[in-house]
Every structure is written in C-alpha cells, then in structure tokens.
Amino acid sequence: MAVTATQVVGKVFYTGSDGVDYVCSGAAVNSTNKNMVFTAGHCVHGGPGKSWSSNWQFVPYYNHGSRPYGTWWAETLVAFNGWTGSANLGYDLGIVITSPSSGGELVNAVGGLGIQWNYPKDRYMTAMGYPQAPPFDGQWQYYCAATTSQRSIFTTDQIKMPCNMTGGSSGGPWIYGKDDGVYYSGWVNGVNSNVNDKNNPTEMRSPYFATWVGDAFNKYSTY
C-alpha cells in the first residue's frame, strides 16, 4: 500500500436507493464518447429488489475536499443482470456515462485508461481507490499492487489480490500497465468489488473481465 495518485481516478458520491449518501471510487475510461467511467455495480444499483443510485457524481483527483478537475454528473447508469437480479459479485461492474461539463468531455480533461478483457487471471496489476472506512479517511487515493489470481477453484468469475483497502475504494480500477505513478497508458482490467473481511481486509476481489465486459464497453462507448 502506498499513496500514489492519478487524475484518471476519482472519488464517487451518490445517494443509494435507501436514501442514504455513500461514496465509492471510479476511473475515466477512453471511449468514443470520452465521458465513460468504470466503477462497481453496487455503486450504481442497490441489487435485487432495489433501484438505481441518484445524485451520482465523479470527482477526478479528489484531494481533501478539493475538486481540481470539477464534478462530473451521471447522465446514464449501467449495471448488469447478474448483479441487479441475483447479486452475483462476478458481475459487480458499473458503467457510467457522464454529462459533458463546461470544460468539455471527461477524457479530454483528465485522460482515460484503456480497457482489456479475456486476459490471463494471473497478472501484476495495481488497484486504486479512495478507501474511507478506518484506518483511512477517504480524502486521498491509495493503491495496492500485486499479482492477481482466480478467487478460488469454484469461483471462476472473480479474481483477487492481497490488499487492505476498505469501504469507499469500491469501484476503483485494477490497472495493468505502468507501475510508476503514471497510469495514463494503462488498461483497466478489473474494479474493486468486495473484500474477504470488512473489518480487517487482506484480500480485494474484482469481477473477471470476460467478453461481456467488452461487449458492454463497445455498446455504451457511443452513448
């Protein structure tokens, strides 16, 4: 764990379907519309029997209350049936299309990650986010970097890595690429979804990015 930050990663604020305000993390992804954010599915939809999040905003490079790249409001929220219908964590991915701001498109303002899918499950990647639950405070970015692996012999639709980031980091990207603090040429290949122990996490998990992720990216890239 270390403190390294990039403007393509941001803090997410939203109101859940229960009317409570929450925080998550996300990352700008380079798409045709240049306004795409990847996050966790539970950051955009409450799951079975629940509804969509509201007041959803992405704040790139959020830093102790400062919003140097402004606030980007959601225009379209996307979640997947595996999550919304059955809370399957293998589909805990959210895609958000933000509204262009006065500064233009999101990716033109902060840059954007590439995306990969159907790649090996054992790769060296960097997970980033804004952990907020103690001992963190959600005010700055953190990361974990490690070689990933399949979650278990029975759970083939998730990957994992050693990591102690807490709640609030959900939705932050798993990046394959440079590990030198400059991630603009990296590729998102997962998102923070869930941990092995909320009170004392040592393992972070992500949906495995298979063909369905690529299909969704291509579909919503032009929204």
Please check whether residues 78 and 20 belong to one and the same domain.
Answer: yes
Please check whether residues 25 and 96 belong to one and the same domain.
Answer: yes
pLDDT for 1: 42
Please check whether residues 76 and 151 belong to one and the same domain.
Answer: no
154 found inside a domain: yes
Please check whether residues 92 and 132 belong to one and the same domain.
Answer: no
Q: What is the pLDDT of residues 140-184, one digit of tens each?
A: 999 999 999 999 888 889 999 999 999 999 999 999 986 555 445
Tell me the two tokens of residue 66: 């400062």
Q: Which domain holds residue 193?
A: 114-210
4 found inside a domain: no
Please check whether residues 154 and 122 belong to one and the same domain.
Answer: yes
Q: What is the pLDDT of residues 90-143, one digit of tens each?
A: 999 999 999 987 669 999 999 999 999 999 999 999 999 999 999 999 999 999
Please check whether residues 17 and 36 belong to one and the same domain.
Answer: yes
Please check whether residues 32 and 142 belong to one and the same domain.
Answer: no
Residue 149 bridge partners (DSSP): 160
Please check whether residues 121 and 105 belong to one and the same domain.
Answer: no
Cα–Cα separations (whole angstroms), residue 28 to 77, 133, 184: 14, 23, 10
Say which amino acid occupies 216: A
- What's the total number of domains in the chain? 2
1 found inside a domain: no
Q: Assign residue 184 the CATH number of its domain.
A: 2.40.10.10
Residues contacting 17, CB < 8 A, separation 6+: 45, 46, 50, 51, 52, 53
- Mean pLDDT over each residue of the chain, to the nearest integer: 93
